[in-house]
Amino acid sequence: MATKSLKARHEDLVMDNKQMEILNGGIFEDGELPYFKDKIAHTGQFPLRPKKLEILQINVGYMCNQVCEHCHVDAGPDRKEIMTRETMEMCLEVIRNTSAHTLDLTGGAPEMNPDFRWFVEEAAKAGIKDFIVRSNLTIIRANKKYYDLPQFFKKHNIHVISSMPHYTRGKTDRQRGEGVFDLSIKALQELNAVGYGMPESSLRLDLVYNPSGAFLPGDQVAMERDFKKALKEDFEINFHNLFSITNLPIARFLDYLIASGNYEDYMYSLVEAYNPSAVANVMCTNTISVSWDGWLYDCDFNQMLGLKVASKIRHIKDYNEDILNDRNIIISQHCYGCTAGAGSSCQGSVT
Partner 1 sequence: MASKKYNYKKYIMADSYYDPADLRKFGNITEWSEELGTKFFDYYGKVFEEGALSAREKSLIALAVAHVVKCPYCIDAYTKDGLQKGITKEEMMEAVHAGAAIESGATLVHGVQMMNKYKKLSM
Residues that bind partner 1 (CB under 8 A): 166, 168, 171, 209, 211, 213, 215-219, 222-223, 226-227, 268, 272
Contact in structure between 177 and 142 (CB atoms under 8 Å): no
Instruction: Please report how close the Cβ of residue 342 comes to partner 1 at its closest, in angstroms.
Output: 12
CB 216 within 8 A of CB 245: no
Nearer Cβ to partner 1 (77/218): 218
- 3-state class of 131 per DSSP? strand
CB 193 within 8 A of CB 149: no
Phi then psi dihedrals of residue 82, to 5 deg: -135, 135
Q: Indicate the residue among 134 and 166 with the shorter CB distance to partner 1.
A: 166
Cβ atoms within 10 Å, residue 262: 16
Cβ proximity to partner 1: between 11 and 182 the closer is 182
Taking the least distance from each CB to partner 1, the nearer of 83 and 248 is 248
Q: Return all residues near 297 (Cβ < 8 A) that are at least 6 apart.
A: 288, 289, 290, 291, 303, 307, 308, 309
Q: CB of residue 210 vs partner 1: minimum separation in angstroms?
A: 12
In sequence order, which residues have a C-beta less than 8 Å from that of residue 262 and are 6 or more positions away?
Answer: 214, 256
User: Which of residues 108 and 211 has its CB atom nearest to partner 1 in the complex?
Assistant: 211
CB of 33 to partner 1, least distance (A): 11
CB of residue 268 vs partner 1: minimum separation in angstroms?
Answer: 6
Rounded distance between C-alpha atoms, residue 309 and residue 172, angstroms: 34
As measured in angstroms, the least distance from the Cβ of 45 to partner 1 is 24
